[in-house]
Amino acid sequence: MDDKIKFEIEFPIHASPQLLYQYISTPSGLSEWFADNVNSRGEFFTFIWDDAEEKAKLVSRKTGERIKFKWVNEEEEPYFFEIKIQVDEITKDVSLIVTDFAEEDEMEEAKMLWENQISDLKMVLGSA
């Protein structure tokens, strides 16, 4: 199996960091844009798309700033995905920084998937 490559994408978003955090850290918020449905039991989140279901462990969170998940099926692997809220100190512009991993030949597809997901989030927030 090929090693996956870490990548980061930044998305400017017109929303308050507090509101944004609700959409990236809660099952109800995540189910508005990231998956069809999201359930959580303690530190484990279940993401449901059509007929697919993936479990992820909440690895870390910093309220109002970031959330980091690790897919359960890749528990032994160093891979994770993280969504960070970044606020420019001078302009107060808000961005989401997504960190994820993909195999080299799937990199463009993975980035496009995030672009689509974040586009959905912007629609939900009314900041598209």
Write the DSSP symbol of residue 80: -
Q: For domain 5-125, is the CATH number 3.30.530.20?
A: yes
Q: Bridge-partner residues for 91, per DSSP?
A: none
Q: Is the pLDDT of residue 13 over 80?
A: yes
88-103 confidence digits (pLDDT tens)? 999 999 999 999 999 9
Looking at residue 3, what is its pLDDT?
85
Return the domain boundaries, the chain: 5-125
- Tally of helices (H runs) and strands (E runs) in the chain: 3, 7
